[in-house]
Amino acid sequence: MEKIEISIVIPVHNDYYALEKAIPFSIDQLQRLDLNFELIIAEDGSTDGSKELAERWARLDPRICLLHSDERMGRGRALARSFKAARGKVICYYDADLATPLKHLPDMINAILGSSDIATGSRFLPGSDASRSIDREMASRAYNFLVRLILRSRIADHQCGFKAFKRETILHLLDKVNAEHWFWDTEVLVRGQLYGYKISEIPVQWRQGKHTAVRPEDAVVMSYSILHLWWQLNVSRR
């Protein structure tokens, strides 16, 4: 059996039409890297046929692996399960809608093969090219400001769904990260900084999906998550 060098994880929940494009496009782009890879579909309780679509692809291509959950686990838990199953020395993930184009993937992988422990895409650096609605832009900037202020993070963009890790780094962090859903992306970066891991931010192009919208309840949940992590890091562990 050939040694897997790169593991790619795509988290999926009712993303049939996005996945229909993402799987063949990912395979095409990954083949150009000239590295042995596996593509893991972290399918999380979908009811729209995403599981069956991934199953058909997995039967056609042994490099594709489906990890299915009958019940919704949450984005964070689905990613954590997939990372534990991944075999590559570099583990990457990106969202099924390919909001960040895969042309940035070589930069992420090269950062990890170099001296970085974690690489994360950023929509807020010089050279970034992000296009989204004004409400989404304002909410994202406010959220990242609060994370930097309250959690003392030095990262510009915590929620970009385009990240890569050294295998040993993410396996060490998984049991420390408690978030089960969207806050997982932020918590892994905050805890990574606390452990002294080298994190590279890479400017990326990003386009908002058609069905992406900011809901008031999302802002409440994410704000609570910031304060809850601050409590864990500064009060409860004492």
Task: Give the tens place of pLDDT for each residue, 112-144.
Answer: 999 999 999 999 999 998 888 888 888 889 999
> Would 59 be classed as within a structural domain?
yes
Poorest-pLDDT segment among 14-23, 95-104, 201-210: 201-210
In a domain, 19, yes or no: yes
- Give the torsion sign (CA, 206, 107, 166, 7): positive
CATH, residue 10: 3.90.550.10
State yes or no: pLDDT of 89 exceeds 70: yes
Rounded Cα distance between 224 and 190, Å, is 16
In the predicted structure, residue 213 carries a pLDDT above the cut 50: no
Give the domain extent around 89: 6-132+161-211
Residue at 172 is within a domain: yes
Q: Return the closest-CA partner of residue 82 out of 190, 165, 172, 10.
A: 10
Q: Does any domain span residue 117?
A: yes
- pLDDT at 199 > cutoff 70: yes
pTM of the model: 0.93
So what's the pLDDT on residue 137? 86
Q: What is the structure's pLDDT at 139?
A: 86
Q: Does any domain span residue 156?
A: no
What pLDDT, on a 0 to 100 scale, did the predictor assign at position 209?
Answer: 67
Query: pLDDT tens for residues 37-58?
Result: 999 999 999 999 999 999 999 9
Average pLDDT, stretch 84-110?
96
In a domain, 195, yes or no: yes
**219, amino acid identity:** A
Question: For residue 66, is pLDDT > 60?
Answer: yes
DSSP string over the chain: -PPP-EEEEEEESS-HHHHHHHHHHHHHHHHTTTS-EEEEEEEES--SSHHHHHHHHHHH-TTEEEEEESS---HHHHHHHHHHH---SEEEEE-TT-SS-GGGHHHHHHHHHTT-SEEEEESSSTT-EEE--HHHHHHHHHHHHHHHHHH----S-S--SEEEEEHHHHHHHHTT----STTHHHHHHHHHHHTT--EEEEE-EEE--TT----HHHHHHHHHHHHHHHHIIIIIT-
Any idea which residues carry the catalytic annotation?
185
pLDDT of residue 238: 58
pLDDT computed for residue 211 by the predictor: 52
Q: Measure the CA–CA gap between 215 and 212, rounded to whole angstroms.
A: 10
The yes-or-no verdict on residue 110 having pLDDT over 80 is yes
Q: Over the stretch 145-183, which tens digit does the pLDDT of each residue have?
A: 999 999 999 999 999 999 999 999 999 999 999 998 889
Does 112 fall in a domain? yes
Number of domains in the chain: 1
